[in-house]
Structure 1
Amino acid sequence: MTVDSLVREVVGAYLSLTDAAVPGLVQGLYLTGSVALDDFRRRRGDIDFVAVTAVPPSPAQVAALQQAHVRLAGHVRRPFFEGPYVTWDELADDPSGATPGPYAHRSRLLPAVPHGRQPATWQVLSRHGVTMRGPGAQDLTVDTSPGELVRWAREGFARYWRPWWERSSRPFTSEGLAVLGGEAVEWGVLGVSRAHQALVTGEAVSKTAAGEYGHTAFDPVWHRILDESLRIRRGGEGRSGYAGPPARRRDALAFVKMVIEDAAARA
């Protein structure tokens, strides 16, 4: 596949900075997420990666990596370069039981994040990963045990999506007001659609594919908010199907609630 020139620029800067900061540490670098799933949008997404090392980074190496990520953010502010640092052995193990490790989030490197190792990331890496350094992604030994993604998706509805909906439903809070904007609408509607598809099919897909899945999985009454979310995802071109943000917010929150309840009924 053809990798966007901006993605290559960010990856090149990252490798230069990390190789200078911790020579020889990063043995493999793979792109996952929207880049691997051919759904990357310069204005509406991050560059997701998995960096592979021989052994877990030492505290001194983590500190050096933290500075490298800060410098990277100064070089290219957006999109963010986000992902976990794992060992070759950790890739071959069940991600749900992995020990917390370094995870790059926005412009920072968090030293010990438990949720950085996810079955969805492992599956996309194994099936669609884009190799930027190291052995080919499809030649790696990656644990993609059947059922892991389904269990992860089910837990995600309880641990993330229901709390997200509850917070976003409070209209005069920062999160409630955020849903008046397009980015939060896209995140919620396409995000729960993607989680629902993972739960039902065991497949990790892009946000765009998840929006298209929603057209067949849910009642046509939800097509308008799905189409609006896809329109936002594609850069906001064309005319909105809504007269204003309040009506769009109402439908987005109603859709997210419906999908959460449908997922719970499948338990």
Structure 2
Amino acid sequence: MMNESISPNETKHIPATVNIVLQTYFKMVDEKLPNLLESFYLFGSVSIVAYQEGLSDIDFYAVVKRKLTKADLEVLKQIHQDMKGQFPKPGLDGMYVMRDDLEGHNEGESSCPYFNEGNLQGFRPFHRNWIDAYQLKKYGIVVKGLPVESYNYPVDWNLLKTNLVENINGYWLNWVNRCKRVTSLQYLGLFVSPSMIEWGVLGVTRLYYSLREEDITSKMGAGEYALKTVPEEYHLIIREALRIRNGNTFSLYSSIFKRRRDTLKYMKFMIKACNE
């Protein structure tokens, strides 16, 4: 699975479960699409030693040697569906790019197939100033192929911060507004779904951390950071989100109504803080 020129230190933090999934994946690719992959990298929770069994996915970038044909895509779709059938968790969540994508020659072109939950979700451009691209550059684990530094792409934190704020004012502000709309499923979900609490509270908190520190951290790391940096009135909902993320059974709240109110209040506070 691992290129012999890569130091074992690159892969020492890969959990055994993830290794099993990757070995199966590479076997399928080598059999059905030989000589396609130039490099394969892990980023996300595995690369920052924050992988949680049963919760985390396997985030990857695969660098291909040539432009994918329709036939190639059909084979990849079948590989990912087969992988999902064999390994419902952890899922392979990632994008297939070429060197020209990484180095910005195809900037803005939606030419990179993206897979999630075993399915092709569509085509995206590779933006060098996405937080995922920064993760790849700083924390990416080389599983197969060339060192990440072999691909020349700089990261501009001014642009990256702009993109993060756009994400806050787009996706997350809309998420909060849907949760406030009585006719939406999210309105009810925020009462009864602990995963929604965790997703919302820790999701905006990760962006808050990145904007302040120009770096990335795990959801747990972001929550712990917020406990040191935001007013105490928000600490209970942060600890509740961390409790859910950890899989602890008993809620810190006796009222789902108060928990819902605290979630929305905290998220509105964080959206404002991220815009300052």
Q: 2:102 — aligned with what?
A: 91
State the aligned residue count. 264
Tell me the SS of whatever aligns to 1:242: coil
Q: Which range moves more in the overlay, 243-252 or 222-231?
A: 243-252
Give the counterpart letter for 1:186 in structure 2.
E
> How far apart are 1:116 and its partner, in Å?
8.0
Tell me the SS of whatever aligns to 2:90: coil
Q: 1:15 — aligned with what?
A: 26
Correspondences of 1:106-145 after superposition (within 5 Å): 106-114=117-125, 119-137=130-148, 140-145=151-156
Q: 2:81 — aligned with what?
A: 70
Q: 1:198 — aligned with what?
A: 210
Q: 1:153 — aligned with what?
A: 164
- Measured in 1, the distance between the counterparts of 2:108 and 2:121 equals 19
Tell me the SS of whatever aligns to 1:64: helix
1:181, 1:245 within 8 Å by CA — same for their partners in 2?
Answer: no
> Could you report, residue by residue, the CA deviation over 1:74-108 in whole angstroms, capped at 9, with x for unpaired residues?
01012221011111232222997453420011120
Task: Evaluate the alpha carbon distance shift between residue 171 and residue 45 of structure 1 in structure 2; reply closer, same or farther with a 3 A threshold.
Answer: farther
Give the counterpart letter for 1:91 in structure 2.
L
Give the counterpart letter for 2:223 in structure 1.
G
> How far apart are 1:172 and its partner, in Å?
5.3
Task: Evaluate the alpha carbon distance shift between residue 99 and residue 123 of structure 1 in structure 2; reply closer, same or farther with a 3 A threshold.
Answer: same
Task: Evaluate the alpha carbon distance shift between residue 248 and residue 95 of structure 1 in structure 2; reply closer, same or farther with a 3 A threshold.
Answer: farther
Q: Which range moves more in the overlay, 249-258 or 94-103?
A: 94-103
Task: Evaluate the alpha carbon distance shift between residue 27 and residue 244 of structure 1 in structure 2; reply closer, same or farther with a 3 A threshold.
Answer: farther
- Measured in 2, the distance between the counterparts of 1:33 and 1:109 equals 19
Q: 2:230 — aligned with what?
A: 218
1:28, 1:53 within 8 Å by CA — same for their partners in 2?
Answer: yes
2:102, 2:128 within 8 Å by CA — same for their partners in 1?
Answer: no
> Could you report, residue by residue, the CA deviation over 1:214-262 in whole angstroms, capped at 9, with x for unpaired residues?
123311111111111112222226x431124333222112211211122
1:85, 1:101 within 8 Å by CA — same for their partners in 2?
Answer: yes
Tell me the SS of whatever aligns to 1:51: strand
Give the counterpart letter for 1:92 in structure 2.
E
Correspondences of 1:185-264 after superposition (within 5 Å): 185-236=197-248, 239-264=250-275
> Could you report, residue by residue, the CA deviation over 1:120-157 in whole angstroms, capped at 9, with x for unpaired residues?
11111111111211123355433322323211101101
1:100, 1:116 within 8 Å by CA — same for their partners in 2?
Answer: no
> Could you report, residue by residue, the CA deviation over 1:9-28 in whole angstroms, capped at 9, with x for unpaired residues?
11112212222232221221
Q: 2:3 — aligned with what?
A: none
2:13, 2:47 within 8 Å by CA — same for their partners in 1?
Answer: no
Tell me the SS of whatever aligns to 1:112: strand
Task: Evaluate the alpha carbon distance shift between residue 116 and residue 169 of structure 1 in structure 2; reply closer, same or farther with a 3 A threshold.
Answer: farther
Give the counterpart letter for 1:167 in structure 2.
R
Aligned-residue CA RMSD in angstroms?
2.3
- Measured in 2, the distance between the counterparts of 1:111 and 1:54 equals 20
Determine which structure has more spread, i.e. the larger CA radius of gyration: 2
Task: Evaluate the alpha carbon distance shift between residue 251 and residue 112 of structure 1 in structure 2; reply closer, same or farther with a 3 A threshold.
Answer: same
1:149, 1:198 within 8 Å by CA — same for their partners in 2?
Answer: no
Q: Which runs of 5+ in 2 are unaligned?
A: 1-11
Say yes or no: does 1:168 pair with 2:179: yes
2:127, 2:133 within 8 Å by CA — same for their partners in 1?
Answer: no
Task: Evaluate the alpha carbon distance shift between residue 214 and residue 97 of structure 1 in structure 2; reply closer, same or farther with a 3 A threshold.
Answer: farther
Tell me the percent identity. Answer: 29
Give the counterpart letter for 1:224 in structure 2.
L
Task: Evaluate the alpha carbon distance shift between residue 242 and residue 171 of structure 1 in structure 2; reply closer, same or farther with a 3 A threshold.
Answer: farther
- Measured in 1, the distance between the counterparts of 2:174 and 2:126 equals 16
> How far apart are 1:159 and its partner, in Å?
1.8
